[in-house]
């Protein structure tokens, strides 16, 4: 029976990790999977997380089950950072917001899509290119994906395409949006564009599914949440998928959260009962450790301050790398100047699969076949070598 299964290609992005690790060249540069690196090329555990983990080790009295919703202290503690106190206060007063912990942002996206489908959503509109796993999740859940162009060649978001995609759509359709630091293009909506998107969602009744995986790595925690807050304020229903992988550096601990906004508190109870049932059938309960560490950070002013500082230094370093890259102007046929306008860890370079392969084979530069680079993989010590390599393969 099982011998009927077709061979599946390994996930291209995750396969890069193995290829990179197996490369013995000392000068190798990893611009593949989205992992933040310091100026020394390391991905250290945040000091704030170390502090929280030490406390956890000391104080945790039990590892008994918590239930499908996971650590609700963690889920609640994130909310003011996500929505801001005013909006959150209103939503709480109206009984319209609730959430649960998930295994990473991926678990939250999966839960949001599966729940939307249960509620009758058949089609999900999505800007392309997107994080490759978005399409895989949508296909696996079994909803139809309708793609539209996310970015324009000049590096701005393609609002025309988004407007056209929403035309004639309504309840029964959902729109999957990146809250900030668009993966893979780095092209985010401006605040004015978010205002328009929020209005379009309100008037069409299309369900927003907001994926926020990089909050704090663009312009700041509040600035990066502008779109999510604006949409949630405008519509009666929304689903949010949140990841702490990057902004708390918890990648392998799989820390995420799913939030639902309902039009009234009765609805919300039913929505969350369905989310709990889906979680139970999928993973039963999320892993606890990372979520508990985030909760301890957010419950303690000193650790919160430390975390904010660490996040700010990451954001500044990413900004500095973007500036430095853009400062090079042209690398062979690649115009690097738009990188200064974009935000977050990623940028798409107009390179072919063959050029990506040459970068890897001839220059030990690892990046996704799509042309995406993880800007945070570059350091001041290796940027110039990367630009030279890029110029070599594209000239
Ligand atoms: C990425 O896009 O590199 C990250 O989101 C990691 C992942 O799971 O793909």
For 328-342, the pLDDT digits (tens) are 999 999 999 999 999
Q: Are residues 202 and 319 in the same domain?
A: no
Among protein residues, the one with the nearest Cα to ligand 1's atom 5 is: 34
What does the block give as tokens for 152? 């324009």
**Atom 4 of ligand 1: nearest residue by CA position:** 34
Burial label for 281, CB within 10 Å (0-12, 13-18, 19+), is exposed
pLDDT of residue 154: 81
Q: Is the CB of 227 under 6 A from ligand 1?
A: no
Centroid of ligand 1 to alpha carbon of 239 (angstroms): 20
What is the per-residue pLDDT for 41?
A: 87
Q: For atom 1 of ligand 1, which residue has the closest CA?
A: 34
> Distance from the CA of 124 to the center of ligand 1, in angstroms?
20
Q: Is the CB of 34 under 6 A from ligand 1?
A: yes
Q: Would you state the structure tokens that stand for residue 323, as one six-digit string?
A: 């500036």
Burial of 282 (0-12, 13-18, 19+ CB in 10 A): middle
CA of 251 to the centre of ligand 1 (A): 10
For residues 157 and 39, give the distance between their C-alpha atoms in angstroms, rounded to a whole number. Answer: 30
Strands (E), 289-375: 330-331, 334-335, 346-348, 365-366, 372-374
pLDDT of residue 12: 87
How many distinct structural domains can be found in the chain?
Answer: 2
Measured CA to CA, the distance from residue 316 to residue 324 in angstroms comes to 12
Residue ID of nearest Cα to ligand 1 atom 6: 34
- For residue 14, which atom of ligand 1 is closest to its CA? 9
In a domain, 315, yes or no: yes
Please identify every stretch of the chain with a pLDDT value under 50, giving residue numbers as ranges: none
Whether residues 262 and 145 fall in one domain:
yes
Residue 183 CA: nearest ligand 1 atom is 2
Q: Is residue 82 part of a domain?
A: yes
241 alpha carbon – ligand 1 mean position (Å): 14
Q: What is the DSSP string of 49-98?
A: HHHHHHHHHHH--------TT--HHHHHHHHHHHH-HHHHHHHHHTT-EE
Pick the atom of ligand 1 nearest to 34's CA.
Answer: 3
Residue 295: C-alpha distances to residues 48, 92, 228, 242, 302 (Å): 11, 19, 22, 14, 13
Residue ending a domain, choose from 247, 272, 299: 299
* Best CA proximity match to 131, nearest among 228, 206, 33, 225: 33
Same domain, 213 and 318: no
Pick left, alpha or beta for residue 390 (phi over 0 → left; psi -120 to 50 → alpha; otherwise beta).
alpha
Tell me the CATH number at 271: 3.40.640.10
Strand intervals (E) in 190-349: 207-212, 238-243, 255-261, 330-331, 334-335, 346-348
The minimum-distance atom of ligand 1 relative to the CA of 368 is 3
pLDDT at residue 194, as a whole number: 98
Domain termination site, one of 250, 266, 299: 299
Q: For residue 3, is it within any domain? A: no
Which atom in ligand 1 lies closest to the alpha carbon of residue 33?
3
Residues 33 and 71 in one domain: no
For residues 41 and 150, membership in a common domain is answered with no
Please identify, by atom number, the ligand 1 atom nearest to the C-alpha of residue 184.
2
Chain length of the chain? 395
Q: Is residue 52 part of a domain?
A: no
Rounded Cα–Cα distance for residues 119 and 112 (Å): 11
What separation in Å is there between the alpha carbon of 19 and the centre of ligand 1? 16
130 CA → ligand 1 middle, Å:
11
Q: Could you tell me the distance, in angstroms and rounded to a whole number, from the CA of residue 133 to the centre of ligand 1?
A: 8
**pLDDT at residue 18, as a whole number:** 93
Any atom of ligand 1 within 6 Å of the Cβ of 131:
yes
Q: What is the pLDDT of residues 234-258, one digit of tens each?
A: 999 999 999 999 999 999 999 999 9
Check whether residue 94 and residue 109 sit in a common domain.
yes
Task: Give the pLDDT of residue 10.
Answer: 86
Helix (H) or strand (E) holding 195: helix 191-204
Domain with 170 in it: 65-299
Q: Quick one: pLDDT at residue 182?
A: 98
337 CB-side CA count, 13 A: 6
The answer to whether residue 237 sits within a structural domain is: yes
pLDDT above 70 covers a percentage of the chain that reads: 100
Cβ atoms < 10 Å from Cβ of 162: 21
The verdict on 295 and 318 lying in the same domain is no
In short, whether 33's Cβ falls inside 6 Å of ligand 1 is: yes
Query: Are residue 343 and residue 368 in the same domain, yes or no?
Result: yes
Which residues participate in catalysis according to the annotation? 131, 211, 213, 246
Nearest CA to ligand 1 atom 2: 34
Mutate to test the pocket of ligand 1, among 10, 33, 217, 254 (most ligand atoms within 8 A of CB): 33
CATH number of the domain residue 17 falls in? 3.90.1150.10
Asked if 294 and 386 sit in the same domain, the reply is no
Q: Are residues 219 and 280 both part of a single domain? A: yes
- Residue from 30, 130, 131 whose mutation best tests the ligand 1 pocket (most atoms within 8 A of CB): 131
Q: Residues 246, 236: contact at Cβ < 8 Å? A: no
254 and 307 both lie in a single domain: no
Q: Of 266, 299, 332, which residue sits at a domain end?
A: 299
In a domain, 59, yes or no: no
**Does one domain contain both 161 and 229?**
yes
Q: Is 57 among the domain residues?
A: no
Q: Answer yes or no: is 191 within a domain.
A: yes
Cβ atoms 377, 31 nearer than 8 A: yes
Q: What is the pLDDT of residues 108-119, one digit of tens each?
A: 999 999 999 999
> DSSP secondary structure string, 144-181?
EEEEEE-B-TTSSB-HHHHHHHHTT--TTEEEEEE-SS
Please say whether the dihedral angle defined by the alpha carbons of residues 106, 108, 109 and 111, taken in this order, is positive or negative. positive
């Amino acid at each position: 029976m099982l011998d009927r299964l077709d061979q599946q290609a390994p996930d291209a992005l995750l396969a890069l990790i193995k290829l990179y690790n197996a490369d013995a060249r000392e000068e190798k540069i990893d611009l593949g999977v989205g992992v933040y690196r310091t100026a020394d090329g390391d991905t250290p555990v945040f000091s704030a997380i170390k502090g929280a983990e030490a406390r956890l080790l000391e104080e945790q009295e039990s590892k008994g089950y918590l239930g499908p919703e996971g650590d609700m202290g963690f889920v609640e503690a994130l909310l003011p950072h996500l929505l801001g106190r005013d909006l959150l206060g209103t939503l709480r007063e109206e009984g319209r917001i609730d959430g649960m912990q998930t295994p990473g942002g991926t678990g939250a996206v999966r839960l949001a899509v599966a729940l939307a489908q249960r509620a009758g959503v058949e089609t999900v509109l999505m800007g392309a290119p997107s994080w490759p796993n978005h399409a895989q999740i949508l296909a696996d859940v079994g909803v139809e994906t309708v793609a539209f162009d996310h970015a324009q060649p000049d590096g701005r978001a393609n609002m025309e395409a988004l407007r056209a995609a929403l035309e004639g759509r309504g309840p029964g359709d959902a729109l999957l949006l990146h809250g900030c630091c668009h993966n893979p293009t780095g092209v985010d909506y401006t605040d004015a564009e978010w205002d328009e998107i929020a209005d379009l969602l309100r008037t069409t009744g299309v369900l927003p599914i907001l994926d926020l995986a990089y909050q704090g790595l663009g312009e700041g925690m509040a600035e990066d949440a502008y779109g999510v807050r604006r949409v949630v304020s405008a519509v009666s229903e929304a689903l949010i998928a949140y990841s702490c992988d990057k902004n708390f550096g918890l990648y392998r601990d799989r820390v995420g959260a799913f939030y639902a906004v309902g039009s009234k508190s009765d609805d919300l109870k039913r929505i969350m009962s369905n989310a709990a049932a889906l979680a139970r059938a999928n993973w039963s309960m999320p892993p606890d450790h990372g979520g508990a560490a985030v909760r301890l950070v957010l419950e303690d002013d000193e650790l919160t301050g430390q975390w904010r500082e660490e996040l700010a230094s990451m954001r500044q370093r990413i900004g500095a790398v973007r500036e430095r890259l853009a400062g090079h102007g042209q690398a062979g046929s690649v115009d690097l100047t738009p990188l200064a306008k974009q935000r977050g860890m990623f940028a798409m370079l107009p390179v072919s699969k063959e050029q990506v392969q040459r970068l890897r084979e001839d220059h030990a530069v690892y990046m996704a076949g799509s042309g995406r680079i993880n800007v945070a993989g570059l350091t001041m010590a290796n940027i110039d070598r990367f630009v030279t390599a890029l110029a070599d393969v594209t000239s």
